[in-house]
Amino acid sequence: MQALDADLLALQEMRTAVKTAKEAQLKFMSYTQQQVDNIVKAVAEAAFKESERLAYMAVEETGMGVAVHKKIKNEVGSRDVYESIKDMKTVGIIGEDKVKKVVEIAAPFGVVAGIIPTTNPTSTAFFKTLISLKTRNAIVVSPHPYAVNCTHEALKVCDAAAVKAGAPEGLIQCLTMSSMEATQQLMKHPDVNLILATGGGALVKAAYSSGKPAYGVGPGNVPVYIERSAKVDKAVRDIVNSKSFDYGTICATEQAIVVDKNILELVNRELKKNGAYILSDEEKQIMEKVISPLPGKVNPKIVGKSPQTIAKLAGISIPEGTRIIIGMETKVGKDVPFSLEKLSPVFAMYVVNDVNHAKEICLALLNIGGRGHSLSIHTENDSIAREFAVEMPVSRIMVNTMSSVGAVGGTTGLMPSFTLGCGTFGGNITSDNVTAKHLLNIKRMAYGTKEVTLPSREEEKTTDTTDQVVSEVLTKVGSDSDIDPEVVKNLVSEIVKQLTK
């Protein structure tokens, strides 16, 4: 009975949150671009200011990641996202083609349901709130059950700043009772207009099955290819830094190193120099059971954990200062633990003969769970990078940079975002880094620019008469005749015109 009461309370909380958000959003509809921009700026500044406190709160609550790294993610989710959208027009007339005489007008979606993952519980909350407010939408957030407090606190920071800057009260809502039923019902609520879903495959599938427009993102199982021309010292440094960043919790983090056999020795030397521990065959077998106790399923106890914690779970001793753990692998498959998306500082490493062999391994890795997401390559041969970009079924290809931070726009020119679309490769509606422009309806007003002359009733009758006479003539002369039907039609047409003058 107690559990039932909790579920009922969670459902009531959700319904009240949506009702409140909808009422606030209707008021927000009348705000000018200047008013909206002032609110968004105030929220971004408040979020940025609280980045460190919320980072430590997230690590303490979830037990995942590195606080100083989560602080950076919070800063990207607030300041960098703001900088990327601050000049975007999102209110009223936003574009006009004076030659074609087409005017574009922005309209909000309404109420956005934001589903937040446990791996990025505060930075994603900042990001989704900012892009929703920029587009005059309200947002109702459903946090991950293991991250309710830190996500709620992040949204309280945003809400207080928004209201102080003049936003209607109730525009930002957060569910606090961590009910899966309430989240499912939120996504189906008649007053919810769009779903922004970041989370596991089942959740994203539920979002797409809700009957609502949805931006869901698929899993990332990112291969990183170190091609023989790469600057190995920089490549390895970037890869280790990227994989150890927040203990591998960003979905665009590299999961498997694919290295050309000609530079293997050099890569191994650099890996060890940068704090990598390469498992023996015996240790690898033990670690496989820790990574994936059940075939195809990654052990949640390793997600976002330190190499030391993971090694302890396996009963393996690793050197002090180890930053990543590597297992040498040759196979790819759901039943091959090291080839899965591990969301932790654990790598598979494959040795390949050439570029074509590398493509085969990368494609196989993507096909077991990362299609459409991301791929990373380190090379000084730009034609090879472009070859991979053209051929691989991914939405973003990072070249000579950290994949984890690069994919979200930290070290690249990509749009800063914590919702990375996978395109139809991964069953998503977009391959973009989702941002404010994806939360707008664009209306178009078009002026007449050309005239179309329709035939008169008399001309229609003439055409009908001509067709009938031509048909009768051709029937009488038979199909074996050498007479050209077009010649007959032209003659009859001319006769009919003369008769109808």
Tally the C-alpha atoms within 13 A of residue 323's C-alpha that lie toward its C-beta. Answer: 19
433 DSSP assignment: B
Tell me: pLDDT of 4 over 70. Answer: no
User: What whole-number percentage of the chain has pLDDT above 70?
Assistant: 92
The rounded distance, in Å, linking the Cα atoms of 291 and 298 is: 6
Q: Give CA separation, 486 vs 13, 103, 275, in Å.
A: 75, 45, 83
The rounded distance, in Å, linking the Cα atoms of 152 and 165 is: 20
What is the pLDDT at residue 461?
63
Q: What is the mean pLDDT of residues 455-481?
A: 67
Q: What is the mean pLDDT of residues 98-111?
A: 98
What is the pLDDT at residue 330?
97
Phi and psi at 91, nearest 5°, equal: -130, 135
435 DSSP assignment: -
Residue for token digits 């030391």? 308
What is the pLDDT at residue 488?
66
What is the pLDDT at residue 216?
84
Q: What is the mean pLDDT of residues 391-405?
A: 97
Residues known to be catalytic: 251
The rounded distance, in Å, linking the Cα atoms of 201 and 218 is: 6
The rounded distance, in Å, linking the Cα atoms of 56 and 69 is: 10
Residue 6 binned pLDDT confidence (cut-offs 50, 70, 90): confident
Question: pLDDT tens across 272-315, in order?
Answer: 999 999 999 999 999 999 999 999 999 999 999 999 999 999 99
Tell me: pLDDT of 3 over 60. Answer: no
Q: Which residue has the higher pLDDT, 53 or 464?
A: 53
Q: What is the mean pLDDT of residues 18-43?
A: 98
Residues paired with residue 399 on neighbouring β-strands, in sequence order:
377
Phi and psi at 226, nearest 5°, equal: -100, 100
- Specify whether the CB–CB gap between 365 and 330 falls below 8 A: no
Residue for token digits 């039923």? 181
Tell me: pLDDT of 99 over 80. Answer: yes
Tell me: pLDDT of 451 over 70. Answer: yes
What is the pLDDT at residue 61?
97
- Backbone CA torsion sign across 237, 346, 361, 279: positive
What is the pLDDT at residue 117?
92
Q: Where are the alpha helices (DSSP H) in 165-321?
A: 180-188, 201-208, 232-244, 264-273, 281-291, 307-314
Question: pLDDT tens across 43-94, in order?
Answer: 999 999 999 999 999 999 999 999 999 999 999 999 999 999 999 999 999 9
What is the pLDDT at residue 1?
46
Phi-psi region of 296 (alpha: psi -120 to 50; beta: other; left: phi over 0): left
Q: What is the mean pLDDT of residues 394-412?
A: 97
What is the pLDDT at residue 53?
98
The rounded distance, in Å, linking the Cα atoms of 378 and 223 is: 11
Residue 218 binned pLDDT confidence (cut-offs 50, 70, 90): confident
User: Which amino acid is located at 336 in the chain?
Assistant: V
The rounded distance, in Å, linking the Cα atoms of 79 and 46 is: 10
The rounded distance, in Å, linking the Cα atoms of 268 and 265 is: 5
100-135 burial string, b = 16+ CB within 10 Å, else e?
Answer: eeebebbebbbbbbbbbbbbbbbbbbbbbbbbbbbb
The rounded distance, in Å, linking the Cα atoms of 492 and 155 is: 78
Residue 456 binned pLDDT confidence (cut-offs 50, 70, 90): confident
Tell me: pLDDT of 335 over 60. Answer: yes
- Tokens representing 492? 């009859």
Q: Tell me the pairing of strands 194-197 and 214-216.
A: parallel
Q: Which residue has the higher pLDDT, 202 or 321?
A: 321
Tell me: pLDDT of 194 over 60. Answer: yes
276 SS3 class = strand
Question: pLDDT tens across 132-168, in order?
Answer: 999 999 999 999 999 999 999 999 999 999 999 999 9
459 SS3 class = helix
User: Which amino acid is located at 449 in the chain?
Assistant: T
Question: In whole numbers, what is the pLDDT of the chain averaged over residues?
Answer: 93
User: What whole-number percentage of the chain has pLDDT above 90?
Assistant: 82
User: Which amino acid is located at 226 in the chain?
Assistant: I
Q: Would you list the DSSP string of 118-143?
A: SSSTTHHHHHHHHHHHHTT-EEEEE-
Identify which of 357, 148, 325, 350 has the alpha carbon closest to the alpha carbon of residue 264.
350
Q: What is the mean pLDDT of residues 424-442?
A: 94
